[in-house]
Amino acid sequence: MPAVGISPTAPVSHGTGRRTPRPRPVTRGIVAAMATALAATLLAFVPATQAEAAPVLLSQGKPVTASSEENYGTPATAAVDGNANTRWSSAASDPQWIRVDLGATTQLSQVVLDWETAYGKGYRVELSTNGSTWSTAYQTTTGDGGRDTLNISGEARYVRVYGTARGTGYGFSLWEFKVYGESGGTGGPQLPGGGDLGPNVHVFDPSTPNIQAKLDEVFDQQEASHFGNGRHQFLFKPGTYNNLNAEIGFYTSISGLGLKPDDTTINGDVTVDAGWFNGNATQNFWRSAENLAVNPVSGTNRWAVSQAASFRRMHVKGGLNLAPNGYGWASGGYIADSKIDGQVGNYSQQQWYTRESSIGGWSNSVWNQTFSGVEGAPATSFPEPRYTTLPTTPISREKPFLYLDGDTYKVFVPAKRTNARGVSWNGTPQGTSIGLDKFYIVKPGATAATINQALSQGLNLLFTPGIYHVDQTIDVNRANTVVLGLGLATIIPDNGVTAMKVADVDGVKLAGFLIDAGTVNSPTLLELGPQNSSADHSANPTSIQDVYVRIGGAGAGRATTSIAVHSDDVIIDHTWVWRADHGEGVGWETNRADYGVRVHGDDVLATGLFVEHFNKYDVEWYGERGRTIFYQNEKAYDAPDQAAIQNGDTKGYAAYRVDDSVDVHEGWGMGSYCNYNVDPTIRQDHGFKAPVKPGVKFHSLLVVSLGGMGHYNHVINNTGASTVPAGTSTVPSMVVSFP
């Protein structure tokens, strides 16, 4: 099975909660705002002359850097986050600067500086097209704080406030740094939104001839294409389809185009089996089914998968069998927002997570079966049977999806739910629709520069099935941006860049794509927020869903950390972060990846977290009030000997470590497995490591030695029995609650 990683820099603790900024004073900016409002009222009675396009706010959420930052939660990003109660402040010395990158050269018209008490008496506003050569658009030596609204003129991609003299004994401090100008910039022609979905998206309606033949053709290509280049998306328009068996292979997704699953009904099956691997389903990865109703021919649909194979927003009008034909091994898996009228036959599935669904029953528990917000789920009975059940999911938001409104493609973005139970699509679906004209349709051959230009224009991204090499980071800087992949679209960073970074802004949605590490080591592959992010996103969190990370397997790949979460309130909903244990480019140093997921942000929730095989820690958690509902892990198979994983005085790196600085953390339904097949004598002191504090709690923990290939001495810290007495029998050692 597979694994993934996160951030290379030293961890930064968020402490016990968000920082409180110095009280915001009443300034002349408020008086100016009142005057502006009065003027606007008077002007309402003046006949209009010639209409002019209003200037556009270009700076919010864009990449920003500064010469320095104070040490208590005042990062540069706070000056462009659109939140008037967060701020950037510098060290208490002259000179200091803050610089924003607008993403493209743009005609500018205005800069607004909203100073905190610590203002700039002397400063310049400087412009640059390349980030190195600067011209002065405004300067003063008599600044007096408050709000400075500066009308400027010039073309620039980079805008810098260069402070030469502080007005107080503090540093320079800005509540907001706003740059206005023309939308889209002058760096080239505007990119169009919308358009066709490319050759690897196969769209059917009930009258389409030979649908089964097309399904079979793609399956023949993808059934055993474990690390191949093919990527496919099947889209079924609303209606009824008879006598189909859609067998789903690698890098293949099947979806309905209705607003609800029952809008699109297949009288037949949507099938995953393991014939290609002699009845073993433990490598049935990278595929999905979504937004369909299925009437299985035999009364039971088969979906025998393991990691990175989501089953979302489905209605099975019968039972669901999660085991392969012959009931061989399986190691999944994930169901969300789905209704299964009959029983879910778990059978040989070693672990599974089901979220906010409705089921007719569940059979068998094997090692770890976890449920949150599921109607019909078995009650918690861990350690026997091994069921862990939460009545609701504390926070969730379903994955965005493509649908048809009449003949018009749109993307539906479901609303956030709190303490949710059952499916989201009973009654009228809650959320917002975005027309496809607001998306840049990314097709194979698109460059990172073009993708970033589309983002800078304010477009969302829809990646069509394909493989995308990027030679610069994809920067998602605008609040509420949607980045949606079809058919497991795959992003590969070249030259050691980070594949994607998300600014510390509200409501970004990343969903449905794979990041594959490049041959040159990347420090990180996906970053959510810059270091020291501190904005409150609880009302509108950023989410990542069905976003997978792979290091090695398809070829040599390296990354120090796979996913780094610095923003607060992020929802991680179903990810598989995998350092490959098989395939091409695999070896202890060949696909080196020290860390899987590192969480620095506060109030982060993970639902369905799969992280495997990292050279050091698979998951590290530094933020406060973090929660994980279901965790599945395997330690790296290929450790050459005990010395290779020695962690100071500790034998091995924990699969899931909560930093000693953390006061509040909670986890449910969590397992770690070892299979040290190079050196079976290796001992791992524990699977989990956490501080012993009243606010740090774990429920339903287990560790397993797979066939006696290495062993755990304990489950968490020094608690829980060793797996050594179990020998080769793969009997788990369990801890019901900790501490």
Q: Spell out where 529-570 has E strands.
A: 543-551, 559-565
- Kindly state the DSSP code that residue 730 receives in the 8-state scheme: -
Query: Taking every pair of C-alpha atoms in the chain, what is the biggest distance, in angstroms?
Result: 88
The rounded distance, in Å, linking the Cα atoms of 500 and 498 is 6
The rounded distance, in Å, linking the Cα atoms of 430 and 68 is 43
CB atoms within 10 A of CB 208: 13
Tokens of 433: 């629709």
Q: Which uninterrupted H or E stretch holds 222?
A: helix 211-222
DSSP assignment string, 244-301: EEEE--TTEEEEE-SSSGGGEEEEEEEEB--GGGTT--TT--SEEEES-EEE-TTSEE
CB atoms within 10 A of CB 349: 26
Amino acid at 285: F
Q: How far is CA 158 from the centre of its chain?
A: 28
Residue 146 burial by Cβ neighbours in a 10 Å radius (0-12, 13-18, 19+): middle
Token match 């270009």: residue?
58
Q: Residues 660, 691: contact at Cβ < 8 Å?
A: yes
Residue 721, CB-side half-sphere exposure with 13 Å CA sphere:
10
The rounded distance, in Å, linking the Cα atoms of 682 and 654 is 14
Does residue 620 carry a catalytic annotation? no
The rounded distance, in Å, linking the Cα atoms of 338 and 316 is 8
Closest C-alpha to 172, from 133, 128, 102, 114: 114
Q: Residues 636, 43: contact at Cβ < 8 Å?
A: no
Helix/strand/coil for 213: helix
Tokens of 717: 């810290």
Beta bridge pairs of residue 22 = none
Closest C-alpha to 381, from 703, 702, 700: 700
Tokens of 282: 């433990």
- Exactly one of 126, 290, 356, 634 is catalytic; which is it? 634
Helix/strand/coil for 41: helix
Q: How far apart are the first and last CA of the chain?
A: 30
Cα–Cα distance list, 158 to 68, 481, 587 (Å): 18, 22, 43
Q: Which residues are catalytic?
A: 634
